[in-house]
Structure 1
């Protein structure tokens, strides 16, 4: 009899503890309805308790977040004009002292517990959620896929060349929740019924593993956007563009867009790779170089394989960039930098550009950490 009673008592106690936790959570975390005021002109009533990032998304306002709201990218910044409590330890790595003075917060780390007033860039009010179908998947290298998404609803997208979207990846395998990741658009804005993305396989990456191993043509997907400040400034400055790997995407969009619009700016495009197997779109850009006298394409390999028989530039892309800035590009002309790649590559290129007289305010990039 004792053998039967003891498990029943344990089960009853566990049930009562679970019930108490549920009740306490409902009472303590029941914030009821709260109001969010955006840019002093739009107010919405929402259910309190969730992070600001997801609460805004439920109301059709999409704040960019390269990590999908996990607090590991620092992208989802908003200016909070009301008191929402002290900064969390998770925010310190991404918010500078100057930003703290302006009450900039990570929207994924701020919970909506009471009425709140925020300020966001005006263009974010026009970002949308899109339904699309995977029209084509191409392998451009052994670890980079070119993904073509045909829009279903809305049927077209308006964006600036260089901007990015956030792709939603459904649960699969051991991944039991939707994953969101940021990817730059590689196609030009003129092709507004579809977009192309370049997605490199990251070992262990939830989103890239799905795209490379699970995604099929004909599959329906969702994404939000467009986002980003990485677009061409309308000046006459020489454009110094540097990319590596899938960082090719926004620069391809930018360069195609400029020439479709017959903008004849001087452009130097440096593309870094390890070996020839990591290069792609080379024929396209070399053909463009023949047609456009102001366009210069410089691919460089850091460690070419013997069988590559490579006759082009060899070395780190930063060293090649430095050589050209010092000796082959007119130093008297104003210049702007456009970069896309890993944070390490971007930081190194920024330093090279600054050392060669390009001010940091004239160097543009979206850093996906």
Structure 2
């Protein structure tokens, strides 16, 4: 018997290893040729100190100088001493390069393309080595655009256990991926991508959660919902979805389906266009108040264009409410993906 351990590095690269309950995470990582930085193997130096964001474990033996009681209570751990009691997600305070590893490369076949509207298209991939690809719900990959020398970053809209991968793309005039999907794509095309990457992913649900999406920022939240459908949360989850026009709305039927199967899941949406037929007109900030934020006892996950992300952050600050944790990701229609996280 072994458990899966996700190692998320400072540069956003995530690698997965298998770890037996009778071996330490550091031992298992070294077997997988991933060198978590450490200066001792005795729980004395604290060099490998990491943060466990999900799962249960035995912390092992160590001295207070390496890990204080307060740090241990906050979820910090020493991979050189800890042994898993379940699957784990660890945030490692080092780059993947420092650990002598990097993102994995995968090849896939285009299985389907769906044009939701003039602004949004979705495509699905069948991966050659699907069993070897693991990711955390909310993460992304860098996809090489067929027929070009460019790559684009897209979050999974499918869940980690779904066989087929899916991605949402906002079409951009002159865009490399937009042009490929509109003009050249054919079922059976071969695609290469690297990943998974990103520090924007679903943590263990230990309190209510508020999910906020702007446009195709809905994609990683759909991946999170698929995970929650498989592992129902013990706390309520509410999703707010904002777009510019009615034609930008996608997957409302999918959200309805999740509301039927995920206990405590609810959602609402709004459209900025004053001519919209939506019940809520305006921006998602108009749907956020202290009660939506559970007076701070909430984990917030926010994904959307930079202006929307900054508007939401400013609005929450103005409310005078500080969420227990706040994870966010900004996306742009270019090759550069700016990510950030505050907890």
- TM-score, normalising length from structure 2? 0.64
Shift of 1:123: 8.4
Residues 298-313 of structure 1: matches in 2 within 5 Å? Answer: 298-305=268-275, 309-310=277-278, 312-313=279-280
Q: 1:361 to 1:343 in 2, by over 3 A?
A: farther
Paired residue for 1:127? 103
Preserved CA contact (<8 Å) 2:232 2:262: no
Aligned with 1:295 (options 250, 265, 268): 265
Q: 1:215 to 1:254 in 2, by over 3 A?
A: same
**Partners of 1:129 and 1:181 in 2: CA distance:** 14
Paired residue for 1:42? none
SS in 2 for 1:288: helix
Shift of 1:279: 1.0
**Partners of 2:284 and 2:268 in 1: CA distance:** 10
Paired residue for 1:190? 161
**Partners of 1:354 and 1:240 in 2: CA distance:** 15
Q: 1:123 to 1:134 in 2, by over 3 A?
A: farther
Paired residue for 2:115? 139
**Partners of 2:260 and 2:179 in 1: CA distance:** 38
Paired residue for 1:166? 142
Shift of 1:231: 0.9
Shift of 1:357: 4.4
Paired residue for 2:175? 205
Shift of 1:330: 6.5
Deviations 1:231-282 (A, max 9, x none): 1222422211111221110000001101211223311101011232211111
**Partners of 1:353 and 1:236 in 2: CA distance:** 21
**Partners of 1:357 and 1:219 in 2: CA distance:** 51
Paired residue for 2:47? none
Q: 1:329 to 1:360 in 2, by over 3 A?
A: closer
Aligned with 2:300 (options 337, 346, 353): 337
Q: 1:288 to 1:170 in 2, by over 3 A?
A: closer
SS in 2 for 1:183: strand
Shift of 1:331: 3.5
Preserved CA contact (<8 Å) 1:149 1:194: yes
Q: 1:358 to 1:241 in 2, by over 3 A?
A: farther
Unpaired runs of 5+ in structure 2? Answer: 1-9, 11-33, 35-93, 333-343
Aligned with 1:245 (options 207, 215, 222): 215
Preserved CA contact (<8 Å) 1:159 1:189: yes
| Root-mean-square deviation (Å) | 2.9
SS in 1 for 2:136: coil
Q: 1:281 to 1:170 in 2, by over 3 A?
A: closer
Deviations 1:132-164 (A, max 9, x none): 000011112222111101011465410000000
Unpaired runs of 5+ in structure 1? Answer: 1-38, 40-60, 62-118, 173-177
Shift of 1:229: 0.6
Paired residue for 1:319? 286
Paired residue for 1:76? none
SS in 2 for 1:314: coil
Shift of 1:287: 3.6
**Partners of 1:186 and 1:298 in 2: CA distance:** 19
SS in 1 for 2:128: strand
Residues 1-369 of structure 1: matches in 2 within 5 Å? Answer: 120-121=95-96, 125=101, 127-153=103-129, 156-171=132-147, 178-191=149-162, 193-305=163-275, 309-310=277-278, 312-321=279-288, 325-326=289-290, 328-329=291-292, 331-332=294-295, 334-359=297-322, 362-369=325-332
- TM-score, normalising length from structure 1? 0.60
Paired residue for 1:99? none
Q: 1:147 to 1:278 in 2, by over 3 A?
A: same
Q: Is the helix fraction higher in 1 or 2?
A: 1
The structure that has the greater radius of gyration is 1
More deviation, 231-240/338-347: 231-240
Preserved CA contact (<8 Å) 2:246 2:277: no
Preserved CA contact (<8 Å) 1:156 1:194: no
